[in-house]
Amino acid sequence: KNEVEQSPQNLTAQEGEFITINCSYSVGISALHWLQQHPGGGIVSLFMLSSGKKKHGRLIATINIQEKHSSLHITASHPRDSAVYICAASGGSQGNLIFGKGTKLSVKP
Amino acid sequence: GAVVSQHPSWVICKSGTSVKIECRSLDFQATTMFWYRQFPKQSLMLMATSNEGSKATYEQGVEKDKFLINHASLTLSTLTVTSAHPEDSSFYICSARDRLALGELFFGEGSRLTVL
């Protein structure tokens, strides 16, 4: 079993839909990261959170430390949101990341 | 926002040659940088953790003599793939931790290596 599990693996949505991507982890963490990887490969860090909830534009990330679960929500989805979203748990003495396998999101116009 | 520049973004080389990839933090100091490798349709895998002024810490299974990492300054880490072989073809990406923003990680754009 992976230490960081994401679901779903693939997600297709219509433009405007509300999207949720889930992440569960089994390790102790100092922080949970949500990353976005575009087809070209470059990665953008969306959120780093250790408790509660963060919001940036149409993106919302939540974490429940007790349940070891985090969610990434996208409101009013748009085709430009199409990307792979990766959940990563930060732990260890140097804070290196343990990555989930990613969720490939495709938003259709 | 903080920017990490990775260069080159893609490189094609012949088998047996060495390739150097640079990772620079442009507007912050990074005491720690991480190097990852990603095969097609797979998640990123940590290769090594690079600390400024000291030897890199390699993950299990990663050959330190093959993947040479140097972190000579607070803004630059390099990964050299020595005597590259076709199986080294992959997407390599770095991330850097802002010394002043605890835990905040910034990623480079990645480097796609193809070894012929």
**DSSP per-residue codes, B50-115:** EETTSPPEEPTT--TTTEEEEEEETTEEEEEE-S--GGG-EEEEEEEEETTSTT-EEE---EEEEE
pLDDT over 90 at B83, yes or no: yes
Is B32 in contact with A41 (Cβ distance < 8 A)?
no
Q: Which of B49, B107, B110 sits opposite A96 (nearest CB)?
A: B49
Between A and B, how many CB-CB pairs are < 8 A?
A: 55
Highest mean pLDDT out of A7-21, A39-53, B98-112: A7-21
Residue B37 Cα, gap to closest chain A Cα (Å):
11
Mean pLDDT of B49-54: 86
Task: Give the whole-angstrom CA distance, residue A29 versus residue A56.
Answer: 22
The C-alpha atoms of residue B9 and residue B114 are separated, in whole angstroms, by: 11
Among A16, A94, A48, A104, residue whose Cα is nearest residue B35: A94
Closest Cα of chain A to B17: distance in Å? Answer: 24
CA distance linking residue B65 with residue A62, whole number of Å: 41
B104 to A45: CB separation less than 8 angstroms, yes or no: yes
Is the sign of the CA dihedral B56, B85, A35, A99 positive or negative? negative
> What confidence score (pLDDT) does residue B102 get?
64
pLDDT bucket at B2, cuts 50 / 70 / 90: low
- Over residues B66-80, the pLDDT tens digits come to 999 998 888 999 999
Which of A2, A9, A43 is the best substitution to test chain B (most B C-beta atoms within 10 A)? A43
Supply φ then ψ for residue B17, to 5 degrees. Answer: -90, 165
> Residue A15, by phi and psi: left (phi above 0), alpha (psi -120 to 50) or beta?
beta
pLDDT at residue A93 is higher than 60: no
Q: What's the pLDDT score for residue B103?
A: 62
Q: Do B43 and A41 touch (CB under 8 A)?
A: no
Tokens of B57: 């810490």
Q: Which of A48-52, A70-74, B47-51 has the highest mean pLDDT?
A: A70-74
> Which one of A45, A48, A99 has the shortest CB-CB distance to B43?
A99
Binned at pLDDT 50, 70 and 90, residue B52 comes out as confident
pLDDT at A30: 80
- B13, two tokens: 């080389």
- State residue A95's pLDDT score: 64
Q: Which amino acid is at B62?
A: V
In the predicted structure, residue B16 carries a pLDDT above the cut 80: yes
Count of Cβ atoms closer than 10 Å to residue B43 Cβ: 20
The mean pLDDT of A5-25, rounded to a whole number, is 97
Q: For chain A, list residues whose CB is within 8 angstroms of any CB belonging to chain B.
A: 30-31, 33, 35, 40-45, 48, 86, 90, 94-97, 99-102
Mean pLDDT over the full length of chain B: 90
Mean pLDDT on B16-41: 91
- What confidence category does residue A94 fall into, taking pLDDT thresholds of 50, 70 and 90? low
Q: Which residues of B touch A31 (CB under 8 A)?
A: 103
pLDDT digits (tens, 9 = 90+) for A76-92: 999 999 999 999 988 76
Q: How far is CA A69 from CA A6, A57, B38, in A?
A: 10, 22, 25
